[in-house]
Amino acid sequence: MRVFYFISLFFSIILSSELDKGISYYNNRAENAIGTQAQSNNIDKAIRHFEKAINIIELEEAAAVYLLKCYYYKGTYVLTDEEDRKAEYNKGKALAEQMVAKYPNSAALRYWYLTCLGKWSEMYGILTAAKEGVADLMKEHSEKIIELDPNYEHGGGYFMLGAVHFKSPYIPFILSWPDNDDAIIWLLKAKVTDRATPIQKNYLARALYKDGKEGEAIRLVREVISTPPSPSNIVEERFEIQEAKILLNDFE
């Protein structure tokens, strides 16, 4: 029994180090990035370490959250082929559905599930996703994130709820709840919950512009453009600055 205990302890230590190594590579995911195009080396290494760490029950939840972050990042900022991107978001979607069922009180798992699900919807088409109930799922999980931890990811639950109201089409008898006024309410709530992120500002600007508030929308995107990207999210925020420049051109 003592031998078995020490063997188990040994493998637990090894797998714990796999989580730490994965986090280190994930934190350096932007190394050698060119603008908004990230390189695959570090994110692939992070994925390999997290896929090992997820095999120990004590690390499963944390490793799953990081894997979802990795799948989202790789699909959005590394891969360029449409089918490869779809495959990455499908990995995230499948893993998240399994993990959320196992850890229903994890705001982090639900949030990163929605990031993958949102990108999955974009790849397969918003209308198709709406007809398959994706918008309802996103609304349900956003509301649960707010209930579990309203501060997670700078008001991430509020942001997701606002984004799904903004992006989802109104379809009589199928999807009747999306409303731009509600999108503005929830996106404003996200903005004042914590540090307003560039993506939150860009979505709020879109919703405000749609509501006829051009001046407020222009002010927000100019704010995004003039703010240097955070070193910890440099590729993601470079992408949002690029998006803000496109929006400014459209708004003016």
Q: Which pLDDT tens digit goes with each residue over 15-45?
A: 578 999 999 999 999 999 999 999 999 999 9
Instruction: List the structure tokens of 52.
Output: 């090992």
pTM for the whole structure: 0.91
pLDDT of residue 49: 97
Instruction: List the structure tokens of 221.
Output: 């995107």
Kindly list the domain boundaries of the chain, sorted by start residue. Answer: 1-121
Q: Which residue carries 């459209």 as its tokens?
A: 250
User: pLDDT tens for residues 143-157?
Assistant: 999 999 999 999 999
Mean pLDDT of 176-199: 94
> Do 145 and 152 contact (CB within 8 A), yes or no?
yes
* Rounded percentage of the chain residues whose pLDDT exceeds 70: 92
Find the radius of gyration of the CA atoms of the chain.
Answer: 19
pLDDT-derived band at 5, boundaries 50, 70, 90: very low
Name the residue type at position 86: K
Helices 198-210 and 152-167, axial angle in degrees (round to 10): 30
Torsion of Cα atoms, 68 then 73 then 79 then 80, to 10°: 120
For 75, residues 6+ apart whose C-beta sits below 8 A from its C-beta are 84, 85, 88, 89, 92, 116, 119
